[in-house]
A and B are shown apart, each in its own frame.
Chain A
Amino acid sequence: MSVPAREILHETIRNLYFHVCMWMSMMVLFTTSVIYSIKYLRSQNLRDDVFALNFAKIGILFGLLGYTTGAMWAKYTWTEFADASQIFTEPKLTGAAIALLIYFAYLVLRGSLTDIDKRARISAVYNIFAFAMLFPTIWILPRLMESLHPGKGGNPALNFDDLDNRLRIVFYPAIIGWTLLGVWITSLKIRIDLIKEKSLLNG
């Protein structure tokens, strides 16, 4: 499979199938998580809380992998034209770090509450706020500021010069594939939690 030739990027353009897919799957998982949180608040069914928690957990896993791979990619591309101060103040990096920290706080918040119903309710509300912060921190803010990350100054999904069609053929199925992998791991975790809390849910 050939890829478009780009300066600095060279073959690393293939990281699009991995690094970017991590973030796309993370978005899907976090979105599902917040849907279950809203569902919990409507139904007060602890089952929905288990779903929301595990979708958020796997979302964090994918976010961490996306962050690490991004760091690796940046090390061999950005360092060739940008200096350290530019890289350390990169808004996309800072934004993604803030977004992930907000989600870490979600887990910490859950861990700090012992009452099951209170924990489920408070963390569901927190999850909605965390989701509300997700879009500004990783999509909107980096585009408003001077950024090294591709996708600045406009919407890459609507910019047809940005993404070559040869990349799209692999990129779109890869997003679906990675997302399904995430959903599968999540379903395993949900099933474990449901067995663990069987007495709580049915009793």
Chain B
Amino acid sequence: MAKKIFLLFACLYLVLPSMLLAQVNDPEKQYTAFDMRHNGKIYVVVSVILIIFTGIILYLIRLDRKITRLEKETK
């Protein structure tokens, strides 16, 4: 159990900083209309993070369902 928690935190500590650091420091005012290119195209980065996040979460939900099915079978 301690090993698992350690691994989880190792994941979090290595992945989360990269998310926090992916923020705008000096927004460029090259595009005036609000679109994905606004603020130096930072919203492209946001969308990329969202794609990865939803992808992994959907996969984990599928995994969760599999475990539930397995639990029912073993009962």
Contacts and interface: CB of A to CB of B under 8 A. Distances in A.
Given A14-B22, A14-B45, A65 B70 contact: no
B23 to A, nearest CB: 8
Interface in B26-44: 26, 28, 30, 36-37, 39-42, 44
Given A65-B56, A173-B17, A192-B66, A15 B11 contact: no
A61 interface: yes
Contacts of A64: 55
A18 B49 contact: yes
A177 B59 contact: no
Contact of A11 (B13, B41, B49, B67): B41
Interface stretch (A34-42, A98-106, A182-190): A182-190
B1 interface: no
Interface residues of A, number: 39
B52 A22 contact: yes
Contacts of B42: 10-12, 14
B11 A11 contact: no
Q: Which of B7, B15, B45, B56 has the most CB of A within 10 A?
A: B45
Contacts of B44: 11-12, 15, 72-73, 75-77
Contacts of A11: 24, 39-42, 44-45
Contact of A173 (B14, B45, B66): B14
Contact of A184 (B8, B17, B49, B67): B8
Given A10-B40, A76-B36, A170 B18 contact: yes
A18 B52 contact: yes
A110 interface: no
B66 to A, nearest CB: 6
Nearest to B73: A196
19 contacts: A9-B41, A12-B42, A14-B21, A15-B44, A18-B18, A18-B45, A18-B48, A65-B52, A69-B48, A72-B47, A72-B48, A73-B48, A177-B10, A177-B15, A178-B15, A180-B11, A185-B56, A188-B63, A195-B74
Interface of B: 7-8, 10-11, 13-15, 17-18, 21-26, 28, 30, 36-37, 39-42, 44-45, 47-49, 51-52, 55-56, 59-60, 63, 66-67, 70, 74
Interface of A: 1-3, 9-12, 14-15, 17-19, 21-22, 61, 64-65, 68-69, 72-73, 75-77, 170, 173-174, 176-178, 180-181, 184-185, 188-189, 192, 195-196
